[in-house]
Amino acid sequence: MHKQWQDFLIENGAVIEGGRLQHFGNPQAERQLAGSADVLTDLSHLADLLVSGDDAATFLQGQLTNDIHAVSATHSQLSGFCNPQGRLLALFRILADADGYHLLLPADLLLPMLGRLRMFVLRSKVTLSDRSDDTVHIGVSGPQLARVLAGQLPSLPATAGEVCRHASLTVLRLAGDPPRFLISGPFDAVHPLWDRLAAHGAPVGAEAWRLLDIRAGQPEVVLATSNQFIPQMLNLRELDAINFRKGCYTGQEIVARLQYRGTLKRRMYHARINATTPPDAGDPVHVCGEAQASGHLVSVAAAPDGGFEALAVVTVEHSDQPLCHGGPDGNALQLMPPPYAFAPLAKD
């Protein structure tokens, strides 16, 4: 985390452990606010992996599930990085600027992904570097804060994935309702904006922001779930994170075969879990009473009214059966559809 930014957050009541924001003193109240109010948060739990150099676009085109040529100064994208068996090692939010391509991902995956990507650089004119401490990233959600932002900046991105740039600030529209934005920039530009926004909204911790991601149906791949899911299982088709016309990339044969010849047996759903102990990403989901797991949790956050909300990948044929988290006799888990329609496979 940027040192000046960390000091600034602590001065404003933040509780930080291990360089990561936990909450602003009352996590329960923050969770309740996240579901219904205007909130802002620090996003330093996201690492910033910069891919730069003359061959950066060509290099990424051969590694990622999406078409890197669609990323520009005004458009970002989600894109997956797979192993040769088509399993997702990481899921990136990609932004482009004059320095190159910024791949935002959970911090616990930064070092593994740096090591993995460097295996493929070979003689390419590509440099991979950690820029996590150079820029401040914040998240902003809610209609009132959207109006405040509109009064502070010349324009705001109107649709998910769209990017606006104003001086040293980058503003990305994220999926979800209420409106959500990711704002990046140097400390000197972000901290006065935070002060103005905090006068109209409540600072919240990372878990409250994760709840908003879950409700928007936006998955993340963390260390515990890396190498576990094929892209279509995480609804990456629905999230425009796969391009089936871009050509070859690592794992492409498996991903394309599922799209054109296969049957998608597992999908990602929104879930409610009746539990008192926090579940973890990667935990198994069972048909109640059956020993074999039917799926796994993708991400989890405490719900405002008790229990937990999650994204869960579950076998489609079991999605209408009684489900349990953590074991065949575990806590009850109820599935709901994500806030978008499931896209059909080519043969459906």
Cβ-proximal residues to 241 (8 Å cutoff; 6+ apart), any chain = 65, 66, 77, 78, 79, 80, 91, 231
Average pLDDT rounded to a whole number, residues 333-346: 87
Q: Which pLDDT band, with edges at 50, 70 and 90, does 346 fall under?
A: low
- Whether residue 83 lies inside any domain: the answer is no
Cβ-proximal residues to 306 (8 Å cutoff; 6+ apart), any chain = none
- 3-class SS of residue 256: helix
Bridge partners of 259, per DSSP, are none
CATH of the domain at 296: 2.40.30.160
Is the pLDDT score of 323 beyond 50? yes
The span from the CA of 101 to the CA of 97, in Å, is 7
pLDDT, position 1: 83
- Whether residue 20 lies inside any domain: the answer is yes
Are residues 182 and 150 part of one domain?
yes
The span from the CA of 332 to the CA of 18, in Å, is 33
User: Of 282, 290, 281, 272, which Cα lies nearest the Cα of 331?
Assistant: 272
Average pLDDT rounded to a whole number, residues 217-243: 97
pLDDT, position 259: 87
The span from the CA of 45 to the CA of 27, in Å, is 17
Q: Tell me the per-residue pLDDT of 264-282, one tens digit each, with 9 for 90 and over.
A: 999 999 999 999 999 999 9
- Identify the domain boundary among 215, 240, 274: 215
The span from the CA of 288 to the CA of 290, in Å, is 6
Is the pLDDT score of 347 beyond 60? no
pLDDT, position 345: 64
Are residues 153 and 38 part of one domain?
yes
Cβ-proximal residues to 221 (8 Å cutoff; 6+ apart), any chain = 80, 88, 89, 90, 91, 105, 106, 109, 229, 234
Over the chain, what is the mean pLDDT? 94
Q: Which pLDDT band, with edges at 50, 70 and 90, does 37 fall under?
A: confident
pLDDT, position 348: 42
Which structural domain range is residue 307 located in?
Answer: 231-336
Is the pLDDT score of 343 beyond 90? no
Percent of the chain surpassing pLDDT 70: 99
pLDDT, position 263: 81
Are residues 236 and 207 part of one domain?
no
Within its chain, how far is the Cα of 108 from the centroid?
Answer: 13
Number of Cβ within 10 Å of residue 78's Cβ equals 23
Are residues 161 and 196 part of one domain?
yes
Are residues 207 and 159 part of one domain?
yes
- Assess whether the previous peptide bond of 231 is cis (omega < 30° from 0): no
The span from the CA of 334 to the CA of 245, in Å, is 36
C-alpha neighbours within 13 Å on the C-beta side of residue 220: 27
Is the pLDDT score of 58 beyond 60? yes
Any idea of the CA torsion for 192, 197, 199, 204, to the nearest 10 degrees?
Answer: -110
CATH of the domain at 148: 3.30.70.1630
State the total domains in the chain.
2
Are residues 287 and 314 part of one domain?
yes
Q: Which two tokens stand for residue 124?
A: 């390419």
Q: What separation in angstroms does the CA of 345 have from each of 65, 125, 301? A: 16, 37, 30
Q: Tell me the per-residue pLDDT of 132-185, one tens digit each, with 9 for 90 and over.
A: 999 999 999 999 999 999 999 999 999 999 999 999 999 999 999 999 999 999
- Identify the domain boundary among 215, 244, 265: 215
